[in-house]
Structure 1
Amino acid sequence: MNSNYQNFVPPKAIPFVQFLIDAHSFDLLIVNQRQTKHGDFRKLPNGKYQITVNNNLNKHQFLLTLVHEIAHHVTHQKFGRVQPHGQEWKKVFQHLMLPFLRLEIYPKEMIGHLANYLKNPKASTDSDVKLSLALRGNIAEEGKNFIFSLPFGTLFIFKNAVYKRGNIRRTRIECLEMKTKKVYLFNQNVEVKLYE
């Protein structure tokens, strides 16, 4: 069940990933893209543990997501029920990521952002705009644009609604939903389609 991950992680990371898989008993499933998450960890009704990771992630995103989810598993094993992204998880995640912070696994343009993120990791890597962009190679999905790259006032589509790009507020961008006239705050690295 865990053998097909090798094509989804950087080659030099495989021995470290295999060590984590061997040391912690879980089933790894590589699944189709989900809009709301890159991966998850759960205990199944039969008592086994399962980690899923989306198949659309590049090798660096996939590896980070996989270790993030393994950290949930290890935290659960060591501490039982605690806050999902609390101090216990943060410490475990930082510890598990250390062997992967190497230039032969993460390129130079990513490793600084990754190390900075790991000082106080959040629930989602997408909340760290610089790391998220570096992990994607600063390239949006084909046919999409990052919100931060759109000129002020540009209309765009996100989840079947039309928005108008507004001002930057510290780390997020105000966007007006055209139908309801409500203002929403978007991360700068959200990928959207232009409204035509």
Structure 2
Amino acid sequence: MSSNYQNFVPPKAIPFIEFLINDHNFTLKIVNQRETKHGDFRKLPNGQFQITVNNNLNKYQFLLTLVHEIAHHVTHQKFGRVQPHGKEWKMIFQHLMLPFLRPEIYPMEMLPYLAKYFKNPKASTDADVDLSLALRGNVAETGKNFIFEIPFGSLFVFKNTIYKRGNKRRTRFECLNMSNNKVYLFNQNVEIEFYKND
């Protein structure tokens, strides 16, 4: 068990997290940021279970990610091999999150977005644009912007590739990859860097 997770979650969440960690017997590792995921759950070769969560998340994202991964662990214990984000996982995730959905843990303005998300939780919270923005307090990482904040026609960098922001479709932006001239769709909560031609 990792003892320093207390610094990564809202203080009032700590007793509930301690209960879940003790009750479900896994090791929690806090790791450096990974581009493709916020956290993961796995069974180690020695038979032990390990959950990892990225260290760059704010306390609200961290808590949600941690409970998301604990839900995978509990689902695995109860049901064995099932769909990773199927109905069993959704039910357990909803159940495990209930004690945390209160204003002393999550700010009042985030709770409606969380309530909506938990009607049918998705594999990634980033797929729910409104929730992912609310969890970040509608503020991008230092030195970055959300894609919806930059003007039409602006050049930006995402994963070391230069794109040009195009029109908004219903919920996503068409962006032209400047190296292969293909158009890609970006969620509006994607964090990008303005292209600076030094």
Instruction: Give TM-score, length-normalised by structure 1.
Output: 0.98
Q: Show the counterpart of 1:60.
A: 60
Choose 165-174 or 37-46, whichever is displaced more. Answer: 165-174
Offset from partner CA, 1:139-174 (integer Å, 9 cap, x none): 111111000111111110001111011111222111
* 1:84 and 2:84 are equivalent in the alignment: yes
Ranges in structure 2 where 5+ consecutive residues have no aligned partner:
none
Runs of 4+ in 1 over 4 A off after TM superposition: none
2:24: which partner in 1?
24
Q: How many residues matched?
A: 196
Equivalent AA in structure 1 for residue 73 of structure 2: H
Q: What value does the CA root-mean-square deviation take over the aligned residues?
A: 0.7
SS at match of 1:108: coil
Q: Which amino acid aligns with 1:155?
A: L
Write the distance in 2 (CA, Å) between the matches of 1:10 and 1:70: 17
* Partner residue, 2:74: 74
Aligned-partner Cα distance in 1 for 2:39–2:132? 15
Q: How does 1:92-131 map to 2 (within 5 A)?
A: 92-131=92-131
SS of equivalent residue, structure 2 residue 109: helix
Partner amino acid for 2:142? E
Q: Which residue of 1 aligns with 2:167?
A: 167
Counterpart check, 1:49 vs 2:49: yes
Letter matched to residue 63 of structure 1 = L
State the AA in 1 paired with 2:81: R
The separation in 2 between residues aligned to 1:30 and 1:171, in whole angstroms, is 33
Amino acid in the other structure paired with 1:43: K
With structure 2 as the length reference, what TM-score do the two structures score?
0.97
The alignment-based identity, stated in percent, is 79
SS at match of 1:120: coil
What is the Cα deviation at residue 2 of structure 1? 2.4
